A and B are shown apart, each in its own frame.
Chain A
């Protein structure tokens, strides 16, 4: 078990990061901390993907010196997926930050529970 964990330390770290991010996103009450948790969670996934996609001793998949043997290169797809994932993560973070700004300017707090209590007292019923 331990030997396996040490041999696959990159994946183990990725899973631990994912767990830290997940719990932060779920249990932190501060909105900014929640967002940081979300980013850690995504980073964990990207680390996992990137480390699985890399094979030691192989090169980036750009043909140099006429070597066309696929065994000389790594698969470019995982790196592409990581890039796509980062783009998605950035845009989601941007939207969430803008929502946070909007909530803060209305309720003057970042604590989600406090905001919830404050919003209950509003009379915006339709």
Chain B
């Protein structure tokens, strides 16, 4: 066993330790420490990715030397390592770019506690990605919920508190259902570790009489995670939550937290239940329909928004719909498209949420569309970063968004059901049109003629641009080398089984 096999555990432990350490540091020291720590985490996750690619197989890390089916396990394959690297890069960029707003939104004496929350959130994200045990998944799911509530309420205004309460209510509902689903699965299979559970469920599923119970358990678990990630019709908390949070929190919540739940869902399907058993359940069709509704309703709401952050948040609801559409289509192609869209959306949406406050900064601190006229001219860097991300959301070639839409189309063709193909194609066309309408409208607005277009200095440091360049480059790389990433995701899904 290579030393690298310890790295997945190290990423979790290091983030937990950093969370505790940041409580004792000053705000600035905590920021520097967190950024350094994120770099170390990215390096470790990249090593794991390299290792799994070179050996060509996943590895399981048995904690405390208790072999399955008793102990707790961590598992790392290509897909987990890729997701970890990408999530950590987005996290790093969000912390780097959101710096200016943190001292404004948060009391100076509490600044270090924000980094504590960020580190704990990283630990929870890493644990959700690496874990091989459903109950560990539940515990870190709750830690993720609590920390995401924490990063939301650090901006102490009435609306964030209200948004946090509504966010928590939906999330607690989701956690409760997820827990019930896990308990039911444990009840029928006798295992919490994913691999023994799958073997047990496979033998149960061979008797058609057991399928009702299994469908119910998996269905409850799926609804729980769907509520938590904001699938239609459970998406109404999104605009307030993302729109009023401090920019770093908005970026992290929309691009990482909701995606981690979906990643856990995919992992549960493949590793704990078995994808062949899931295909025999009616869950896929329900997810497909809800996903399609989410795409349309999210896009229409985004079109009607008068506030740029609300528009971007509603567009998140639509993108979650895309991901569930891929899962609902099923098949390796559908899941590959869904996971690729998780990546594409993570780099794009975080870029949007980190750019909008900067556009607001040159528009009298207002995020309302009517005040943003010409803001892209007053701050050209922000205008360019916003436009690049907006093009990716619309699905213009070269950017990641185009590649993922192409993959969804391919997935719909490969399913072989004419009804699904027509539905998906119509919704893809309508949603691309709507996306184009509201994003192009915004781009025209921010570059439109205004009485005052002289560049203004708003006190953003060069590190902001560094973070945004990383996100934009990642976006373009995902778009240009989409086939490479799709192959890697496909290999990762193979390793899941």
Partner of A45, one of B176, B244, B366: B176
Q: How far is the CA of A40 from the CA of B183 in the complex (A)?
A: 16
User: Are A122 and B159 in contact (CB-based, < 8 A)?
Assistant: yes
User: Are A112 and B180 in contact (CB-based, < 8 A)?
Assistant: no
Q: How far is the CA of A82 from the CA of B474 in the complex (A)?
A: 43
Query: How many residue pairs bridge A and B at CB < 8 Å?
Result: 93
User: Are A124 and B169 in contact (CB-based, < 8 A)?
Assistant: no
Q: Is A69 an interface residue (CB 8 A)?
A: no
Kindly list chain A residues whose C-beta atoms are within 8 Å of the C-beta of B487. Answer: none
Interface range, B side: 35 or more
Kindly list chain A residues whose C-beta atoms are within 8 Å of the C-beta of B142. Answer: 88, 91-92
Q: Is B168 an interface residue (CB 8 A)?
A: yes
User: Are A25 and B169 in contact (CB-based, < 8 A)?
Assistant: yes
Q: Is B211 an interface residue (CB 8 A)?
A: no
Among B146, B162, B166, B186, max chain A CB count under 10 A is at B162
Contact pattern, A 91-117, Cβ under 8 Å of B = 1, otherwise 0: 110011001101100110000100110
User: Are B139 and A88 in contact (CB-based, < 8 A)?
Assistant: yes
Q: Closest Cβ of chain A: how far from B485's Cβ, in Å? A: 35
For B220, the closest partner residue in chain A by CB is A18
User: Are B176 and A48 in contact (CB-based, < 8 A)?
Assistant: no
Q: Is A72 an interface residue (CB 8 A)?
A: no
Kindly list chain A residues whose C-beta atoms are within 8 Å of the C-beta of B277. Answer: none
Partner of B159, one of A52, A102, A119: A119
Binding site secondary structure of chain B = helix
Q: How far is the CA of A41 from the CA of B176 in the complex (A)?
A: 7
Kindly list chain A residues whose C-beta atoms are within 8 Å of the C-beta of B186. Answer: 78, 81
User: Are B158 and A112 in contact (CB-based, < 8 A)?
Assistant: no
Name the interface residues of A1-31: CB closer than 8 Å to any CB of B: 18, 21-22, 25-26, 31
Q: How far is the CA of A1 from the CA of B307 in the complex (A)?
A: 54
User: Are B165 and A112 in contact (CB-based, < 8 A)?
Assistant: yes
If A88-B142, A96-B168 touch, does A49 touch B162 (CB 8 Å cutoff)?
no
Q: Is B367 an interface residue (CB 8 A)?
A: yes
Partner of A77, one of B162, B166, B173, B192: B192
Q: Is A65 an interface residue (CB 8 A)?
A: no
User: Are A99 and B192 in contact (CB-based, < 8 A)?
Assistant: no
For A106, the closest partner residue in chain B by CB is B158
Kindly list chain B residues whose C-beta atoms are within 8 Å of the C-beta of A107. Answer: 158
User: Are A116 and B162 in contact (CB-based, < 8 A)?
Assistant: yes
User: Are B158 and A22 in contact (CB-based, < 8 A)?
Assistant: no
Q: How far is the CA of A42 from the CA of B183 in the complex (A)?
A: 12
User: Are A26 and B173 in contact (CB-based, < 8 A)?
Assistant: yes
User: Are B158 and A99 in contact (CB-based, < 8 A)?
Assistant: no
Q: Closest Cβ of chain A: how far from B166's Cβ, in Å? A: 8
Q: How far is the CA of A86 from the CA of B79 in the complex (A)?
A: 33
Q: Is B347 an interface residue (CB 8 A)?
A: no
Q: Is B153 an interface residue (CB 8 A)?
A: yes
Q: Is B161 an interface residue (CB 8 A)?
A: yes
Q: How far is the CA of A31 from the CA of B168 in the complex (A)?
A: 12
If A25-B172, A84-B139, A92-B142 touch, does A126 touch B365 (CB 8 Å cutoff)?
yes
If A26-B173, A92-B172, A124-B159 touch, does A99 touch B153 (CB 8 Å cutoff)?
yes
User: Are A42 and B360 in contact (CB-based, < 8 A)?
Assistant: no
Contact pattern, B 131-153, Cβ under 8 Å of A = 1, otherwise 0: 00001001100100110010001
Q: Is B179 an interface residue (CB 8 A)?
A: yes
Q: Closest Cβ of chain B: how far from A99's Cβ, in Å? A: 5
User: Are A99 and B168 in contact (CB-based, < 8 A)?
Assistant: yes
User: Are A103 and B187 in contact (CB-based, < 8 A)?
Assistant: no
User: Are A38 and B172 in contact (CB-based, < 8 A)?
Assistant: yes
Name the interface residues of B209-260: CB closer than 8 Å to any CB of A: 244
Q: A52-B187, A126-B357 are in contact. List 14 more A-B contacts (CB 8 A).
A: A18-B176, A31-B165, A38-B169, A48-B180, A99-B149, A99-B153, A103-B165, A106-B161, A107-B158, A112-B165, A122-B157, A124-B159, A125-B307, A125-B367
**6 tightest A-B CB contacts, nearest first:** A88-B142, A41-B176, A124-B157, A106-B158, A119-B162, A49-B183
* A interface residues (Cβ-Cβ under 8 A, vs B): 18, 21-22, 25-26, 31, 34, 38, 41-42, 45, 48-49, 52, 77-78, 81, 84-85, 88, 91-92, 95-96, 99-100, 102-103, 106-107, 112, 115-116, 118-119, 122, 124-126
Could you name 6 residue pairs across A and B whose Cβ atoms are closer than 8 Å? A88-B139, A96-B165, A100-B165, A124-B158, A125-B366, A126-B365
